[in-house]
């Protein structure tokens, strides 16, 4: 990938609403070229989509998030893919990863409360064929997400005018 | 009257800092976007902070060698070689100082006899003139202009040389103009230094913030290492201003003389800052490059914005300052800065704070978030729009 494209992607990753005219100035190419590069990245699905990062807690919405370690006995031909597919189709499942280490699938589930998530795990995940075990970790506090530190604001402590 | 001043004449005669006065006004106002800050808006990268914390936990709280930790001098020598292709011996040719400010003070005191002259291209950093005076020297300001990109005029330097000229003090990339010098420009300064047997004090604190080309260290020019004291440090490249940690590198007789003063006045730079600097040398380059990339993006966006609102500005090639002309507003730079602050709450620094040659310009630091820079441009556009409408030049062109 050329450096201009790389740079544009980084700018959009920091702030998806950065205007093409600003991006053009920032990377030193004209605006049409910026629009062309963005369109091309969208077409190639390098840019998957534009989303908003919402702090639901601050918005007053209740809800819980859980990380579930799932151990699976793999099957010939399909490995873990079929089990993963049974899991990721549920809308309450936000993410499914195949990972190395002590368990196989890491599943992120969002639900309205502890009971609902626990029931989902017990009834839907644990009962899938070849799921050997599940361990549920409820999220207690977010410190950093998507590269952004959430718990503290690093304020600008500089003096207002310095040489 | 009648009572003899308790303050020395040298100190008494130095005018109060123009920046200080401005700072006092700004600090009494709210909702100010300050483009007057001469330091990075990033906090020191965590790996560097963490290394310093760890060193304190392990009890590194003592004096170090006057020269600074040997380990750090070795890393500095490696860094200078790696990034600028200049080779220094860690023993005898590198001194760890408390900021480049201390290094410059030491150098001026080490080389000047009373009345010796130092050529100082302006606009320049605010401390060059006072430090020369404190050291008993005579600062000789050499003007440069926007028309020649604020590069040093070698002809003007040459014309100012007298039998008392000892040194020339250059700073590229430059605070406040953001100008850099190409190898060919530096070559001409080198020839002049050779011709007149001058010492070159080269403050290269902004060297890593060079955008369109690669920084050329003055000491890397053929034959120049023996007459150059190279000053650099960690403040700007690694966002470490508050650590007060820097270094000077040069021929052993000059560095030795500086160390003689340093050992009696400073003893040594703080060990925790030296430990932090060590980590910066070893593993800070990735963090640094990410910051430089962001400065570069803001630079292009902000300078384009300045030109669009009617403040003509060269694209600065280094540091994190834009130095636009404000002449078409019909205001002096002091008036511009003060009125902009009171009417639109944007702080910039009047160009004259950096020498008389800075009249007609203001210094805007773009070491601020993109959002703040955008908002500052919006406010400045309103301000400039009002001035352009009222200025005699604009009216004349409309009626004529």
Residue B274 to residues B60, B65, B278, B280, B289: CA-CA distances in angstroms?
10, 11, 6, 10, 21
Do B216 and B202 form a contact (C-beta atoms < 8 A)?
no
- Going residue by residue through chain A (163 aa), what tens digit of pLDDT does each one get? 899 999 999 999 999 999 999 999 999 999 999 999 999 999 999 999 999 988 888 888 889 999 999 999 999 988 999 999 999 999 999 999 999 999 999 999 999 999 999 999 999 999 999 999 999 999 999 888 888 888 777 788 898 888 8
CB contact under 8 A, A161 and B19: yes
Residue B160 at interface with chain A, using a CB cutoff of 8 Å: no
Secondary structure of residue B225 in the 3-state scheme:
helix
* B295, closest residue in chain A (CA to CA): A26
Q: Tell me the C-alpha distance between B309 and B65, whole Å.
A: 53
Residue A28 at interface with chain B, using a CB cutoff of 8 Å: yes
CB contact under 8 A, B19 and A18: no
Secondary structure of residue A110 in the 3-state scheme:
strand
Contacts of A15 in chain B (CB under 8 A): 370
DSSP state of B7: S
Q: Is the peptide bond before B58 cis (omega within 30 degrees of 0)?
A: no
Residue tagged 């009216």 (tokens): B395
Could you list the beta-strand ranges (E) of B306-347: 321-322, 346-347
Residue tagged 């190419």 (tokens): A29
Per-residue model confidence as pLDDT tens digits over B162-211: 999 999 999 999 999 999 999 999 999 999 999 999 999 999 999 999 99
Question: CA A27, A28, A29: angle at the middle one, nearest 5?
Answer: 105
Secondary structure of residue B318 in the 3-state scheme:
strand
Q: Is the pLDDT of residue B395 over 50?
A: no
Q: Is the pLDDT of residue B282 over 80?
A: yes
CB contact under 8 A, B27 and A25: no
Q: For the whole model, what pTM was predicted?
A: 0.90
Per-residue model confidence as pLDDT tens digits over B337-385: 999 999 999 999 999 999 988 999 999 999 999 999 999 999 999 999 9
Picking from B115, B133, B107, the residue whose alpha carbon sits closest to that of residue B261 is B107
Contacts of B32 in chain A (CB under 8 A): 160
Secondary structure of residue B182 in the 3-state scheme:
coil
Q: Tell me the C-alpha distance between B132 and B324, whole Å.
A: 28
Write phi, then psi, for A105 (nearest 5 degrees): -110, 135
Do B173 and B317 form a contact (C-beta atoms < 8 A)?
yes
In the sheet that A131-138 helps form, which strands lie side by side, from edge to edge?
A: A93-98, A105-111, A64-72, A131-138
Contacts of A4 in chain B (CB under 8 A): none
């Amino acid at each position: 990938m050329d450096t201009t494209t790389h740079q544009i992607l980084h700018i959009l990753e920091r702030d998806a609403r950065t205007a093409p005219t600003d991006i053009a100035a920032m990377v030193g190419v004209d605006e049409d070229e910026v629009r062309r590069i963005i369109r091309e990245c969208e077409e190639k699905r390098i840019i998957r989509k534009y989303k908003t990062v919402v702090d639901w807690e601050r918005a007053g919405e209740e809800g819980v998030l859980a990380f579930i370690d799932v151990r699976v006995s793999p099957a010939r031909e399909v490995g873990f893919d079929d089990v993963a597919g049974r899991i990721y189709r549920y809308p309450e499942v936000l993410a499914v990863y195949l990972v190395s280490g002590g368990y196989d699938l890491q599943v992120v589930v969002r639900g309205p409360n502890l009971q609902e998530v626990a029931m989902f795990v017990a009834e839907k995940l644990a009962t899938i064929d070849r799921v050997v075990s599940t361990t549920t970790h409820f999220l207690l506090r977010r410190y950093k997400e998507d590269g952004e530190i959430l718990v503290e604001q690093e304020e600008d402590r500089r003096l207002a005018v310095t040489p | 009257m009648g009572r003899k001043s308790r303050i020395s004449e040298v100190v008494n005669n130095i005018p109060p800092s123009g920046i200080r006065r401005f700072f006092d006004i700004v600090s009494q106002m709210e909702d100010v976007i300050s483009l007057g800050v001469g330091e990075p808006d990033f906090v020191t990268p965590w790996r560097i902070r963490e290394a310093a914390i760890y060193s304190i936990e392990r009890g590194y709280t003592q004096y170090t060698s006057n020269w600074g930790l040997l380990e750090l001098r070795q890393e500095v020598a490696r860094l200078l070689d790696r990034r600028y292709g200049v080779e220094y011996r860690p023993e005898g040719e590198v001194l760890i100082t408390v900021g480049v400010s201390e290094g410059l003070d030491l150098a001026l005191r080490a080389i000047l006899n009373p009345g010796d002259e130092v050529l100082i291209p302006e606009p320049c950093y605010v401390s060059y003139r006072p430090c020369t005076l404190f050291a008993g020297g005579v600062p000789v300001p050499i003007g440069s202009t926007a028309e020649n990109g604020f590069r040093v005029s070698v002809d003007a330097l040459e014309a100012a040389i007298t039998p008392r000229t000892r040194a020339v003090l250059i700073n590229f990339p430059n605070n406040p103009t953001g100008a850099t010098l190409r190898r060919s420009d530096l070559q001409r300064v080198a020839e002049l230094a050779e011709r007149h047997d001058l010492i070159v004090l080269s403050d290269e604190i902004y060297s890593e913030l060079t955008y369109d080309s690669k920084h050329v260290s003055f000491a890397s020019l053929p034959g120049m290492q023996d007459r150059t004291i190279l000053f650099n440090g960690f403040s700007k490249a690694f966002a470490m201003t508050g650590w007060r940690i820097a270094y000077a590198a040069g021929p052993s007789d000059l560095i030795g003389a500086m160390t003689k003063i340093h050992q009696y006045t400073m003893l040594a730079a703080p060990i925790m800052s030296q430990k932090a600097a060590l980590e910066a040398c070893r593993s800070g380059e990735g963090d640094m490059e990410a910051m430089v990339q962001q400065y570069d993006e803001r630079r292009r966006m902000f300078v384009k914005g300045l030109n669009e609102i009617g403040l003509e500005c060269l694209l600065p090639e280094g540091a994190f300052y834009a130095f636009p002309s404000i002449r078409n507003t019909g205001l002096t730079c002091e008036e511009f800065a003060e009125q902009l602050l009171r009417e639109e709450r944007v702080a910039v620094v009047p160009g004259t704070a950096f020498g008389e040659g800075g009249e007609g310009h203001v210094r805007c630091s773009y070491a601020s978030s993109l959002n703040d820079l955008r908002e500052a441009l919006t406010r400045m556009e309103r301000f400039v729009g009002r001035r352009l409408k009222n200025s005699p030049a604009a009216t004349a062109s409309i009626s004529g």
